[in-house]
Structure 1
Amino acid sequence: MRDYREISLWKNVTPEEWNDWHWQLSNRITDIEALSEIITLTPEEKKALNDDLLELRMAITPYYATLMDPNDVNCPIRMQAVPTSKERYTAEEDFYDPLAEDRYAPVPGFVHRYPDRGILLVTDQCSMYCRFCTRRRFAGEVDRPKSREEIQAAIDYIERTPVLRDILITGGDPLTMEDENLEWLLTSLRRIPHVEIIRIGTRVPAVMPQRITRSLVSMLRQFHPLWINVHFNHPKEITPYSTRALNMLADAGIPLGNQSVLLRGINDCPYIFKELFHKLLVNRVRPYYIYQCDLSRGISHFRTSVGKGIEIIEFLRGHTTGMAVPTFVVDAPGGGGKIPLMPNYLLAQGERRVVLRNFEGTITVYTEPEDASSHCHGCKEICMRQSTSSGGGVSELLEGSRLQLEPQVLKREERRHQWMEEKKDQSLNTSKPECPFL
């Protein structure tokens, strides 16, 4: 990490300004002239940036810029922040909206894809625009938070949908919002009786840790149970600044998880992830997910094989503490949700014996009891309560409620059909234009 005062662009910046998140947000690097004062650009890079910035959004916080190696084009920090001409290439398999979030939006700004939880999109602004972003279709488009009026429609939907018990606030990055707007949002959600869990997804502890202030933390701790998922991709992102931010959140009793994206040339090495996860655990952050890079347009150069992710889990499981082993997932194209993948540890299965292997390659056998049937006694009330929020699928075969599975109509498609019918009914009673979604 470089001393910011050694960079001519910021030589007169005071420590008070540098540690002010408003200053960091207002002074993001957005043009090639400022970037050239921080890192050494080759003539080819300059030409590419001049062309690409007409189409691609770039914004890098001064803090994150100090983590970049000024002379190494393969610096893992630099690769996450600086656009390249590769982003203008659209692969055959690329999608505008690979996770079909727009398709499963009953109202603008809310995605209801899973049975009992949903995604609340409150801003398109990030403190830094990551080059591999899955929501690059709209990230930074207006570069500001949504108004309370815009968010209220999603809150109204949550309120009238009692199956929703877990709400993830994301964007953009919700922690780019002012404290008072965040407090209004959290208060609005906490007033809804069936919302049990509120989560915030944010990258600011990695790219703008100055945002984690005493006033923010003091406000957040009023809304427990509140969880925060942070986003670190490389050990170089763990600095004294980010460590302080994470410790402040953890000291407020906020459980922290980390979501990483598997990125070619940046972290596609098991030892990079091992070091990252060890550092995160020391800072009371539990590794949660490693995502296979999505099929968004313009980021095919970041994608690895799925096998690379499975290999990384192979190198972690058993070789380090289980708390440092996240779940590797592919977020299914078309809105199918996260699919967990891991190495195959079950080698064979007989009537009473299963053959297993461990992380060392040792092959062993586990003998099951003669009577392996399970009897559910005394939990009828719990079973009935939880089964009402079932999302269908293979679980219905296991519980015996269905004989076969023919998912010609999925639960999420049934919900979507209901939304469409409601929108048609509303259109008969109003002349206001509707906000379309696929």
Structure 2
Amino acid sequence: MTWRELFPGTTEAEWRDWRWQQRHALTTAADFERLFPLTDAERRGFALAAGHTRVAATPYYASLVDRDHPACPIRLQVMPSAAEAVPAPGDLDDPIGEEPHRPVRAIVHKYPDRALFLAVDRCAVYCRHCTRRRITFSDDEGGFDRAAVEEGIAWVRAHREVRDVIVSGGDPLSLSDQKLDGILAGLRAIPHVQVLRVATRAPVTNPMRVTDALAAALRRHAPLFVVTHFNHPKECTPEAREACERLVDHGVPVENQSVLLRGLNSSARILTDLNERLLTFRVRPYYLHQGDLAAGTGHLRTPLAAGVAILEAMRGRTSGLAIPHLAVDLPGGGGKVTLQPQYLAGEGEEGARGHWLRNGRGERYFYPEPPEQDCTCPYEAVYYPADAAARGGPAGGDGEGE
């Protein structure tokens, strides 16, 4: 069914207004039941979610649901499930250990040169696999007000080691242009901040949000990257393409981070299709995330071996541009590591210096090691004199991104 049939009385102008989409988000079982019949498991999921977790989907994103199939990948991402109440091994409220690294309310600082800036606790759509459920799924955290934002900007200004700031939340594109621009302007005015990133699902869940005015505002704060979150080819609609291409046309690079979700996209065919489509949107596949140990998401997690097997199936069968890094954010704050298939097949025999490697078809090839093993770079000390190296910048610059 078309959106006009699903939402009778809605005008074209209203449908294409991102604010209308956010204001008219579906939040209750009755809202969704007007679009499609709920299963008993979905009704129980709503009952269990009441008073505990937020549920919301924009009319646009809800219109993508397959009415006849409970296993629809859109449906699985927005409909609360009774399985969320079933504990799983390793469940954590703070699965990637952010809370011990929050020096002020809006900042998470786990890596020396990067900081996460929490700009908002709300989203247009609440994904059931959310890793930051403790913030976005409840009211315990409270909103991020102007005081929290100013405190966060002041913290970044005081920490010269931070060169890369990721603005996230919640979804920062649920904010108005004016509020988002104010945050980005405050961060861009800090001399040592070299790169900004904005993490958002808006191109997927509310593509109307990506207006020419927004794209132009983001471009003013370059170098700035948008990191979005497509999980399935079903999300690759003409509206989503238009949103991504509008950003790229304005000079804002877009990268994608998918989450590996059991029964939703845990298939080499699905992920290959997704990433090949994203390349036609001019979106670069970046990470495929192993599901974090967020409490309530155990039913969506895959074994580690599943992600490695998917990468192995993709390698050699699609462009390297379409193959993301498989990332695991270690529980408790250990940071990200990446996994990949093992292509090293053994050392050279009988004194032959080198290694046997295998390709995706299992064929073995010998790579001889060079006779000279020293890999130092003699010009390094010239290009990075001691004073510049101490500041982290090359000779001839001030090391602060200007």
TM superposition score normalised by structure 2: 0.93
Report how many aligned residue pairs link the two structures. 387
The superposition leaves residues 361-405 of structure 1 with CA deviations (integer Å, 9 ceiling, x where unpaired) of: 110111111112123212214375457669xxxxxxxxxxxxxxx
For 2:186 and 2:45, the matched residues in 1 are separated by 45
Answer yes or no: is 1:15 the counterpart of 2:12: yes
Tell me the equivalent position of 2:28.
31
Distance 1:148 1:270, change over 3 A: same
Task: Pick from 224, 228, 247 the counterpart of residue 245 of structure 2.
Answer: 247
Tell me the equivalent position of 2:345.
347
Tell me the equivalent position of 2:329.
331
Q: Which runs of 5+ in 2 are unaligned?
A: 394-402
Tell me the equivalent position of 2:177.
179
Tell me the equivalent position of 2:216.
218
How do 1:153-232 residues align onto structure 2 when only pairs under 5 Å count?
A: 153-232=151-230
Deviation at residue 43 of structure 1 after TM alignment: 4.0
Residue 364 of structure 1 aligns to a residue whose secondary structure is strand
For 1:21 and 1:145, the matched residues in 2 are separated by 21
* Range moving further from structure 2, 40-49 or 248-257: 40-49
For 1:131 and 1:389, the matched residues in 2 are separated by 40
Distance 1:276 1:386, change over 3 A: farther
Distance 1:259 1:300, change over 3 A: same
Tell me the equivalent position of 1:99.
96
Distance 1:140 1:300, change over 3 A: closer
8 A contact 2:52–2:138 mirrored in 1:
no
How do 1:67-146 residues align onto structure 2 when only pairs under 5 Å count?
A: 67-142=64-139, 146=144
Tell me the equivalent position of 2:289.
291
The superposition leaves residues 306-325 of structure 1 with CA deviations (integer Å, 9 ceiling, x where unpaired) of: 00000111011221111111
8 A contact 2:316–2:360 mirrored in 1:
yes
Tell me the equivalent position of 2:4.
5
Deviation at residue 229 of structure 1 after TM alignment: 0.7
8 A contact 1:124–1:141 mirrored in 2:
no
Deviation at residue 236 of structure 1 after TM alignment: 0.2
For 2:385 and 2:68, the matched residues in 1 are separated by 60
Distance 1:105 1:47, change over 3 A: closer
8 A contact 1:58–1:129 mirrored in 2:
yes
Tell me the equivalent position of 1:322.
320
* Range moving further from structure 2, 141-150 or 258-267: 141-150
For 2:40 and 2:84, the matched residues in 1 are separated by 18
User: 2:339 is matched by which residue type in structure 1?
Assistant: L
8 A contact 1:140–1:172 mirrored in 2:
no
For 1:145 and 1:44, the matched residues in 2 are separated by 31
User: 1:300 is matched by which residue type in structure 2?
Assistant: G
Tell me the equivalent position of 2:298.
300
8 A contact 1:229–1:256 mirrored in 2:
yes
Structural RMSD (CA): 1.7
8 A contact 1:165–1:197 mirrored in 2:
yes
For 1:48 and 1:223, the matched residues in 2 are separated by 42
8 A contact 2:18–2:206 mirrored in 1:
yes
Q: Which runs of 5+ in 1 are unaligned?
A: 391-438
- The percentage of counterpart residues that share the same residue type is 40
For 1:55 and 1:141, the matched residues in 2 are separated by 7
How do 1:385-424 residues align onto structure 2 when only pairs under 5 Å count?
A: 385=388
8 A contact 2:42–2:79 mirrored in 1:
no
Distance 1:119 1:44, change over 3 A: closer
Distance 1:145 1:386, change over 3 A: farther
Distance 1:210 1:93, change over 3 A: same
* Range moving further from structure 2, 372-381 or 137-146: 137-146
Tell me the equivalent position of 1:382.
384
Answer yes or no: is 1:259 the counterpart of 2:257: yes
8 A contact 1:122–1:145 mirrored in 2:
no
For 2:192 and 2:45, the matched residues in 1 are separated by 50
8 A contact 2:44–2:81 mirrored in 1:
no
Tell me the equivalent position of 1:279.
277
Residue 268 of structure 1 aligns to a residue whose secondary structure is coil
Deviation at residue 107 of structure 1 after TM alignment: 1.2
Residue 347 of structure 1 aligns to a residue whose secondary structure is strand
Distance 1:144 1:256, change over 3 A: farther
For 1:224 and 1:253, the matched residues in 2 are separated by 8
Deviation at residue 61 of structure 1 after TM alignment: 0.6
The superposition leaves residues 172-230 of structure 1 with CA deviations (integer Å, 9 ceiling, x where unpaired) of: 00011100111111111111110000001110100010100111111111111011111
8 A contact 1:126–1:140 mirrored in 2:
no
For 2:376 and 2:64, the matched residues in 1 are separated by 56
* Range moving further from structure 2, 120-129 or 144-153: 144-153
Answer yes or no: is 1:234 the counterpart of 2:232: yes
For 2:83 and 2:287, the matched residues in 1 are separated by 26
Deviation at residue 4 of structure 1 after TM alignment: 1.1
8 A contact 2:115–2:162 mirrored in 1:
yes
User: 2:82 is matched by which residue type in structure 1?
Assistant: S
